[in-house]
Amino acid sequence: MTALARVTAYRPQQRHLPMLATLALLVGAYAYGASQYTAFGSGQVVFNLFINYSWLLVVAVGMTFVILTGGIDLSVGSVVALSTVLSAELLGEQGWPAAAVVVAVLAVGLLLGTGMGALIHYFEIQPFIATLVGLFFARGLCLTISTEAPSIDDGFFTVIAQTQIPLPGDSHVSISVLIALAVVAVAGYLLHHTRFGRTVYAVGGSEQSAVLMGLKVARTKVSVYALSGFCSALGGLLLVFYKLSGDPLSAIGTELDAIAAVVIGGTILSGGSGYVLGTVLGVLVLGMIQTLIDFDGTLSSWWTKIVIGGLLFAFIVLQRLIARR
């Protein structure tokens, strides 16, 4: 059978339909923008989506693992903010070297995520409540450390923030984009080529069945929250590279954006089905909506939330229809 015949004969599986719908939406939105605005057709517009939302992409990847197990993590935005404040405090006031700051920030995110995962599994606290505790705790730490938004002028952070990697067609991306794509690649490998990934899907499909099969449910549930905390801390570092400042009030509502990106990307909220690639598409859709509104220039930025709400409703309905079939 020829390649063309294989493409023609391809019939997508039902679990792929939400992700394919997201891809179609992204392509349609880009085509609409290119037809309405001359500058929108530039390839740099797409690369700017990755540049502007690389930090959110990393956070959403961590959220994907959590939702695949049937959980939720409301603390990610606060952990992002805590990472920016810690970076500014340790670099500026404490005079730590950049490498030590990066390690410390990632360790704090990992520790917070592990703690919430332990609360959820060993104390049988609902993920919503346990991560809500993490949300308030991390945001409170932010405001305890600093109530201002100090700028960061460390040489290493400045170089990372300002370095542009040239691409064909007079386009470019940032180092943060490469880091985010590396996270996506590692996450995809973990989910689809390791025992840990298979256990994540099994726990999301039926935790009781996973226990009966002898899978390491406890380790997996704690690990996905630890991974989410790590990704949130890394996302905070990427946000520092993007803004070169630490702000205790930054990333408010990021947890909702991350959940929206994951769901729009085709991951089912009840767990057991979803893909990291879908999450990438979900983040790009959110960014594309904001870019279209920015190009229009006459609409309030709040329209982004309205459109995202409509998309969430549509994709949840689509998921329910697929589940019934």
Q: What is the CATH number of the domain that holds 223?
A: 1.10.3470
* Domain encompassing residue 267: 13-324
Amino acid at site 9: A
Overall domain count for the chain: 1
pLDDT digits (tens, 9 = 90+) for 179-218: 999 999 999 999 999 999 999 999 999 999 999 999 999 9
The answer as to whether 243 is a domain residue is yes
pLDDT range class, residue 157, cuts 50, 70, 90: very high
Answer yes or no: is 45 within a domain. Answer: yes
- Span 278-292, average pLDDT: 94
- pLDDT tens string 52-79: 999 999 999 999 999 999 999 999 999 9
Q: Which residue has the higher pLDDT, 283 or 14?
A: 283
Residue 286 placed within a domain: yes
Q: Is residue 4 a part of any domain in this protein? A: no
Say if 54 falls within a structural domain.
yes
Q: State residue 325's pLDDT score.
A: 63
Q: Residue 2: inside a domain, yes or no?
A: no
**7 lies in a domain?**
no
Question: How do residues 221-237 score in pLDDT, each as one tens digit?
Answer: 999 999 999 999 999 99
Give 238's contacts (C-beta < 8 A, 6+ positions apart): 54, 55, 58, 176, 179, 180
pLDDT tens-digit profile of 129-142? 999 999 999 999 99
Percentage of residues in the chain with pLDDT exceeding 70?
94
Tell me whether residue 3 is in a domain: no
Mean pLDDT of 88-106: 94
